[in-house]
Amino acid sequence: MDDVAAAIADPVRRRILELLRERRLPAGRIAEEFEISRPAISRHLRVLRDCGLVRDTVVGRRRLYELDSTRLVELIRWLTPFTRTDLWERRLDALETEVYRARRDRRTGDSPSATEERTA
């Protein structure tokens, strides 16, 4: 997990992963997206390949790079508790339930304030 986190810490490598998210690309096409040298892009690709986020395939004279997102699973699993989306989802679900209950009670006249008014 540490090598994956270190690899994606660099903004150039993150952008390369974004490019490879859609399709396989040759190194030259990847390099066209950046204002840095092709050897620098090759070094970034090597880091991504060494940590397993990218794999390459030789097709004819070209080397095509593609994303291998399976290495992200462990990092995602570790990061998920920090997002606390499950907590917000439960709170929003409870709020939705209360809104529907209040609307229903208002339509049927069963709201607590209406009951108190009728009995007083």
> What's the rounded Cα separation, in Å, for the pair 40 and 63?
16
How far apart, in Å, do the first and last CA atoms of the chain sit?
A: 66
> How many Cα neighbours within 13 Å face the side chain of 3?
10
Tokens for 46? 């090597």
Task: Kindly report the pTM of this predicted structure.
Answer: 0.66
Contact present, 51 and 9 (Cβ < 8 Å):
no
**pLDDT (mean) for 90-107:** 88
Other beta carbons within 10 angstroms of residue 76's beta carbon come to 12
Residue 120 pLDDT greater than 70, yes or no: no
